[in-house]
Amino acid sequence: MTEPAVRHPIFARAWDRLCGLMERELAVQRQELLAGLTGRVLEIGAGNGNNFEHYPATVDEVIALEPEPYLRGKAHEAATRAPVRVTVREGVAEALPVGDESFDAAIASRVLCTVRDQERALAELRRVVRPGAELRFLEHVRSPHARTAWLQERLDGSASGHGSAAAATAHATPWAP
Ligand SMILES: C[S@@+](CC[C@H](N)C(=O)[O-])C[C@H]1O[C@@H](n2cnc3c(N)ncnc32)[C@H](O)[C@@H]1O
């Protein structure tokens, strides 16, 4: 099945700027997320590649997928500065362009709120990691505060081009824009 293209030029540029402001705080979470990984790693929705500098040297290779063209360009730049080998490719989480059981770990960092079909994305992640591999998440949950939740839903919708999935995302850190 052909996946619709992911294009959200306004969000992409806004996210790139916002990351610059939030990165000091996020960097600690990124390091924690990636610590101890080994072997071949798949990262979905890599954005501008802000995780790349935090991969430990024990990782042999990262295949980083990013569907949005502007952010993918930024990710290509970040890959050149990464301490490990990072290959950036186009691809959506719902139809991963990689083989079965071909990764030692998979990373989803602030991505699942933007994918169109979370169940398919999770099934795809399960397909591509080898038995016993790790799936590591760094995702936000819907705020208990109505105004913040409203804002989250608007932002998630602008990132994906569809309605928000914030309410269905149930992992890790509370997120307040
Ligand atoms: C909020 S950003 C997070 C970027 C990066 N993972 C980080 O931690 O900084 C969400 C990313 O998911 C990407 N994305 C949107 N729809 C996607 C999909 N269906 N499959 C994979 N990635 C997607 C967006 O283009 C964007 O780069």
**pLDDT tens sequence across 121-154:** 999 999 999 999 999 999 877 778 888 888 877 7
Query: If residue 148 lies in a helix (H) or strand (E), which one and from where to where?
Result: helix 146-160
How many CB atoms are closer than 10 A to CB 85?
Answer: 13
Best CA proximity match to 60, nearest among 89, 84, 88, 34: 84
Q: What is the pLDDT of residue 24?
A: 80
Supply φ then ψ for residue 101, to 5 degrees.
45, 45
Span 41-49, mean pLDDT?
97
Q: What is the pLDDT of residue 49?
A: 97
Identify whether 61 is part of a domain: yes
Q: In whole angstroms, what is the distance from residue 93 CA to residue 91 CA?
A: 7
Identify whether 21 is part of a domain: yes
Query: If residue 131 lies in a helix (H) or strand (E), which one and from where to where?
Result: strand 129-138
Identify whether 98 is part of a domain: yes
Eight-state DSSP code of residue 174? B
Identify whether 63 is part of a domain: yes
pLDDT at 116 over 80: yes
CB-ligand 1 contact for 169 (6 Å cutoff): no
Identify whether 114 is part of a domain: yes
CB-ligand 1 contact for 55 (6 Å cutoff): no
Q: In whole angstroms, what is the distance from residue 78 CA to residue 75 CA?
A: 5
- Say how many domains are in the chain: 1
Q: Is residue 2 packed enough to be buried (19+ CB in 10 Å), middle (13-18) or exposed (0-12)?
A: exposed
Q: What is the pLDDT of residue 145?
A: 87
Instruction: Look up residue 141 and give its two tokens.
Output: 């949950």
Identify whether 1 is part of a domain: no
- Tokens 């990165």 correspond to 23
What CATH number should be reported for the domain holding residue 79? 3.40.50.150
> Of the ranges 40-54, 103-117, 135-149, which one carries the lowest mean pLDDT score?
135-149
* The model's pTM: 0.83
Identify whether 176 is part of a domain: no
Identify whether 177 is part of a domain: no
CA 113 to ligand 1 centroid distance, Å: 9
> Of the ranges 36-40, 127-131, 163-167, which one carries the lowest mean pLDDT score?
163-167
Q: What is the pLDDT of residue 165?
A: 35
Q: What is the pLDDT of residue 147?
A: 86
Q: In this structure, are residues 86 and 116 in contact, taking their beta carbons and an 8 Å threshold?
A: no
Instruction: Taking the CA atoms of 83, 89, 91 and 96 in sequence, report the sign of the dihedral they define.
Output: negative
3-state secondary structure of 5: coil
Give nearest CA residue, ligand 1 atom 11.
45
Eight-state DSSP code of residue 49? -
CB-ligand 1 contact for 114 (6 Å cutoff): yes
Average pLDDT value over all residues in the chain: 85
Q: Which domain holds residue 20?
A: 9-168
CB-ligand 1 contact for 104 (6 Å cutoff): no
pLDDT higher for 72 or 146?
72
